[in-house]
Structure 1
C-alpha cells in the first residue's frame, strides 16, 4: 500500500469519524474510542512529543499491554517520522538494556508503574534515556524523576503546541513516505543478543493488505488484542491490519480477564499461537472430566460425530444427509455451547502460527465448526508468507504462498522467500543482514521444508537444528529436534520438551509436565502432591509421560527418515522452563543451547546410563527474589520401534 500508518488513521477519521476504532475494558466496563477521537489524541501526543524533542528518525520504545493510548502513542511517533520499538512487557529490566542502547533510545512510552520502575532501574546503564511517559498514573503520584511525565500531561502540552502552530502536525504527516522506516521489532534472540528488524510503512502495510485480501477482511471485523504488542504477529493483526481494514480492536482489562473478555467480545477474526488453543482445550477437558456421567457420555458421543463429520463439512466436502442431521443435533447440544464458552461463537477466521499445532488439536477445533487455519511467516517477512485457504486447512502444512510471495528451496532444503514484505535490514548489523538477504532479494528463512504435491508448504525444522545421529544402530539418521519436541507437546500433559541427539548415538529428552493438566489428572486419582517438583517426581506421572513418549516413538517409526529420532531415555525436569531464568525466549521458544549448558549434568546422566541424578538450580521468583530448587531426578528408558517403512 502506497501510504503510511498515520495517513490511514486520518482517512478513517475523515470517512467514518464516529465509528469505533478501539475498545478497552476498564473496571469491568468497555470504553470506546472513535476514529475521530483517536486522531485527536494522536495529534496531541505527536505535538507534545515534538515539544519534548522527539526527532524524525529517532526510536521511541513502547512497553506495555495492548492499550488504546499506547497505540495512539505509536501513531503519534510515526506521525513525526519517529520509529516505535515495542518491547516485551513481561521482560525483566536487564533485558531492556541492550535494545535501548542498541537503538540509542532517548524516549519511552510505558503502560504503568511496573514498567516505569524497570526503566528507572536501568537508567544508569542507559544514560541517554531522557523522557519516560506513562499511561496509568496509579502508584506514581510521588515519583519525582527527571523526564517522567504522564501521557495526559504530554497531550496537554501538545494541545498548546497545536494551537500555536495548527499546521505543524499535518505537515509532519505529509512529509512521511511509504518507504520510510515505520517500526523496529527485536527478534527473540535464541542464540545471542536480539537483532532489530527494520520495517517500512510499505512492507508492513503491503503484507497486512495481502492477508486481508486473502481472507476477505472488512471494517466490520472484531479483534481481541491480548498477545504482547512486541510480537510482530500481534502487531500485524491488531495494528497494521487494523489500520489497513479499519476494523475494531478490543483490549482486555488484564491477562486474568482474557477468557471472560473473549466471550464478551466474540471476535470474528482471531489469532493465537498453538499454546493458547492447547490451554483452552485443556480447560475444557478438565471441566468435562469433572462433569456428570451423563454429560461425559453426551460429550463423547457428539465429539465422535464431530471428528468424523466436522472436518469434511468445514472443507466443503460432500456429507450425507444423515451425518448433516447428526452434526446439527450435536451443534445444538454441544458444539454451539462449547464455541460460546470458548468465546468463538462469531469467529469467521482463526489463525495459529509460531509453532506446529497437534493434528488432534487442529481437528478438534475444525470439527466443532471453528475455521482454524495455519499461517507461515516471521518477523523478517512481516508475517504473511503462506496462508491456508478456506477448505484447504491441514495440520501438516502451513498453506500456500499468498499474493506477491515467491518460494524457492535451496539445495540444503532451506526455504528462501522473496516478498514485498521483507525487512529493510537488521539495525546496525550489516553482516547479519548480508547473511539472510541475497543480492537477488531472497530471504534465508533458516527453516527446512518442501512444497507438497498440492502446492502447500511443509516445515520440518530449523535448518541449523537438523542434525545426524552418530554411532549406534541409527548411525547417520536425520535428527530434527523441534519436530520431535512438537510431537511431545501435542499431548495435553506435556507443556515443554527439549530433545538432544545431534552427533550422539541416540535421542534423549527433558520433559516439562503441564502442571494444571497433570495436577487435575492426579487429583482425580487421589494422588497427593505438594507442588510442581513433587508432582513431577511421582512414579505415576513418569508412567503417564512414558506412555506419551512411546506413542511419539511409534509415530516416528512410521517415517523412515525420522525413525532414528525416537527417544531412548527421558527425565522430567524439577522446575518449569522459564523466560525469567533465561531458558525460554519471551515468545516461549526453547533456548536449546542455554538449557544444554545449564543442565549439562543432566545431559551427561542421560547419556551416561545413570538411573537418577541430583541437581540444584537457581531460580528467579515473580516478586524478584532469587532461590534454588533441588531434586534427585529419575531417568527412564523407553521402548523404541523399528522403522515400519524400512521393514516394508
Structure 2
C-alpha cells in the first residue's frame, strides 16, 4: 500500500504520476463530429508541458491568474493544468456570462492571459479589453469565424503549442523545475462566488484542500481509475470542477466531454458513466423529458409505466438499500426492471451508474425518490465553493431524502444557537482574494466557518438542511416558513420549471411560477392549443388550470407535514417571462436571487397578498446581443384550494 506521504500532493505532480503509471490508458475523450476522440494520460501530459512552456513564454509566472472561458473542452482543462505547472492560478469563468460580468472578474483578478473556447468568447474579451488593461493575450481554441480578426493580442492554439515547443528546446528543464517548486499549500485555483447577495468574491483553494477532499471521497466510495465521468456542466462551477477535474487528476479515471450542450443526453447514453454528478435542475430536466415521452405513448404503455412506478415507489428504494422485501414484491420488481426500470435507466443514460451525486441546491423528495426507486444509486451531498465541495455525503444503505448524510472524514460540524451550521474541515478555502475583511467575517471568533445554512444534526448523526439561514422565517402566526422546501415541492411537476415562494411575516404563502416551455408546449400541442411564445402560453386559462392542479397537489403534500402545513400556497401567478441570469434574476448556477426578484417584482407580490384578480406589469429584459427591450402583460392571479392538515396519530 502506498504511504500517504509518498502520494503526489499537487495537481502537476498528479498529472505526471498518471503519465508514468497509466500512460497508455484513456484520460480524456471528446466527441467531435459524432466521433469520440481519445487522449491518453501520456498524450495529455506531453501537450500540457508544451502549453506550460508557451504560457511561460507569454510571461506567466507563479501566482499569476490565467482566466479560462468556455464549455467543457479538453483543451481548456489542459490550459488549467498548464497554468498550475507554472504555479499560476487558473480562474474559470462562466461561458454564458455577459461581457460586463466577466470584466469584473478580469479586473479583480488582474488577469493577463485568457484562454477561451471560440469566437463568441473572443468577442467578449475584445469588448471589455479597454476596461481590463492587464489583459495582454487572448488564446483561442476554435478558429472558426476568426480568420479576419487582426488584433495582435489574439493567439491560436496551434501557434501557442509551436511557441511552447520552441521554448522547451531552449529551456528543457524549466517546467520540471517549476513543478518541483510548487507546495501543497499554494493556491491551485480560484473560483468566483455566484454573487447572490453582492459582488462575486474570489475563493482561493489550495492543492492540499482540493486533493484532500477528493481523496476522502475516493476512499469512501471505492473509486478507481476505471470510472467513466461525463463533464458537461460549466467548469467555473466548483461542483463540476471537483468531479471532472480535481477527482479526475486525483483518482486517474477517464473524463468524457460531450460534443455540445445540445447533445449531452445522447452523449450520456453513448458513454454510460459509472460515476455521475448532476444538480437538481438537470435531474428535473431529464425527468421532464421522460414524462413528455410517456404522455405521448400509447394507453397500455402509460398504464404499465404508472403501475410500475407505483410499485417502485413502494419497494424500489428498499431493494436498493439492501433492506428486507417480500419475495413476491422482489419478483414483481424484477419483472418491472426488465420491462420498465432497465429501459428507463438506459434512456436516461444511467445504466452503468454505480454512484450518482446531486448537489448545488436542495432536491425535492419526490424527484429524489423517483431516481432511487428505479435502481439509480443517487445520493445527496452537502458543501460549497469555500469547503471544496465535500462536507457531508450519504453512505450506501443509509440514504434518506430529508438529509444530506453525516460529515465526511475530517469534517467537524456544530449547530449554533441561531440554527446556523458551522464547520471545520481540511478542505476549507485559504481566503477571499484581496478581501481580508470578508474572509475574517466568514469565521467565528473560535475558528469555525459560517455556512449561512440553517439545519440540525439528526439523532443518527445525519445533517438535515432546512434552507439558507437568511431565507428561513415564520408566518405571522409563528408557523415555520421554508421557501426552498415549498419551491422544491412545486418544481417536481414537469410543467413547473421554477418557483419562488413568499410568506415571511405574512398571514399566508403566495408564489411566482415559471412554466417549463417544452413540457407545457408539448401538453398544449397535444390538445390543439395554439400559442405564440412563452408569454402567450403562460397567460392562457387552460395553462392556469393545469398549474393550479399542480399547486393543489403540492398543498396536499404539505398538509401531511405538521411543521409546514400552514405554508400551503393560497395564490399564485405565472410570470410573463422566464427568470434569467442575464436579467440578474438567477445566478449563473441557476439559483434564484430572492431579494432581487422580490424588489424587481414588488408590485406583483403586493397584488398576490392583497388578493387581486390580476396585475399589469412592464419588465425590462436583456437580449443575448446586449440590446434591451420590454415585456408587458396583465398577469392573472389564481387562488388555490388549501388542504386540511393531517393530525399526528397519538401513540397508544
Q: TM-score range by the shorter chain?
A: over 0.9
Pick one of 584, 587, 595 that aligns with 1:585.
Answer: 587
Aligned-partner Cα distance in 2 for 1:431–1:641: 48
Is the Cα contact below 8 Å between 1:357 and 1:490 reproduced in 2? no
Match of 1:57 in 2: 63
Deviations 1:74-110 (A, max 9, x none): 0110010100000100111111011111111111111
Match of 1:531 in 2: 533
Query: For this pair of structures, how many residues does the alignment match?
Result: 644
Q: Secondary structure at the match of 1:346?
A: coil
Pick one of 108, 124, 127 that aligns with 2:133.
Answer: 127
Match of 1:460 in 2: 466
Is the Cα contact below 8 Å between 2:8 and 2:17 reproduced in 1? no
Aligned-partner Cα distance in 1 for 2:555–2:341: 33
Aligned-partner Cα distance in 2 for 1:113–1:521: 37
Aligned-partner Cα distance in 1 for 2:645–2:310: 31
Pick one of 398, 407, 415 that aligns with 1:392.
Answer: 398
Q: What is the root-mean-square deviation of aligned Cα atoms in Å?
A: 1.6
Pick one of 163, 185, 206 that aligns with 1:157.
Answer: 163
Q: Secondary structure at the match of 2:530?
A: coil
Pick one of 559, 565, 574 that aligns with 2:576.
Answer: 574
Structure 2, unpaired ranges of 5+: 1-6
Instruction: Point out the more displaced range, 373-382 or 617-626.
Output: 617-626
Counting only pairs closer than 5 Å after superposition, residues 386-535 of structure 1 correspond to structure 2 as: 386-470=392-476, 475-535=477-537
Q: Secondary structure at the match of 2:453?
A: strand
Against the structure 1 CA distance between its residues 304 and 561, is the aligned structure 2 distance closer, same or farther, given a 3 Å change threshold?
A: closer
Aligned-partner Cα distance in 1 for 2:435–2:541: 50
Deviation at 1:341, TM superposition (A): 1.4
Q: Secondary structure at the match of 1:105?
A: coil
Structure 1, unpaired ranges of 5+: none
Against the structure 1 CA distance between its residues 646 and 430, is the aligned structure 2 distance closer, same or farther, given a 3 Å change threshold?
A: farther
Instruction: Point out the more displaced range, 634-643 or 23-32.
Output: 634-643
Is the Cα contact below 8 Å between 1:618 and 1:626 reproduced in 2? yes
Q: Secondary structure at the match of 2:235?
A: coil
Match of 2:4 in 1: none
TM-score for the superposition, normalised by structure 1: 0.97
Q: Secondary structure at the match of 1:124?
A: helix
Deviation at 1:458, TM superposition (A): 0.8
Is the Cα contact below 8 Å between 2:362 and 2:484 reproduced in 1? no
Match of 1:206 in 2: 212
Aligned-partner Cα distance in 2 for 1:295–1:567: 34
Match of 2:620 in 1: 618
Deviation at 1:280, TM superposition (A): 1.0
Aligned-partner Cα distance in 2 for 1:199–1:244: 15
Deviations 1:270-298 (A, max 9, x none): 00011111111111111111112222223
Against the structure 1 CA distance between its residues 321 and 501, is the aligned structure 2 distance closer, same or farther, given a 3 Å change threshold?
A: closer
Is the Cα contact below 8 Å between 2:291 and 2:494 reproduced in 1? no
Query: Is 1:324 matched with 2:326?
Result: no
Pick one of 269, 279, 302 that aligns with 1:296.
Answer: 302
Aligned-partner Cα distance in 2 for 1:119–1:482: 36
Is the Cα contact below 8 Å between 2:29 and 2:255 reproduced in 1? yes
Aligned-partner Cα distance in 1 for 2:493–2:295: 16
Deviations 1:200-247 (A, max 9, x none): 000001001111111110000000000000000000000000011000
Deviations 1:105-150 (A, max 9, x none): 1111111111010010011111111111111111112211122101
Counting only pairs closer than 5 Å after superposition, residues 299-378 of structure 1 correspond to structure 2 as: 299-378=305-384
Aligned-partner Cα distance in 2 for 1:50–1:75: 13
Query: Is 1:276 matched with 2:276?
Result: no
Deviation at 1:306, TM superposition (A): 2.3
Match of 1:216 in 2: 222
Q: Secondary structure at the match of 1:635?
A: strand
Deviation at 1:623, TM superposition (A): 4.3
Counting only pairs closer than 5 Å after superposition, residues 227-238 of structure 1 correspond to structure 2 as: 227-238=233-244
Deviation at 1:642, TM superposition (A): 5.7
Deviation at 1:564, TM superposition (A): 3.4
TM-score for the superposition, normalised by structure 2: 0.96
Deviation at 1:644, TM superposition (A): 4.2
Aligned-partner Cα distance in 1 for 2:562–2:518: 35
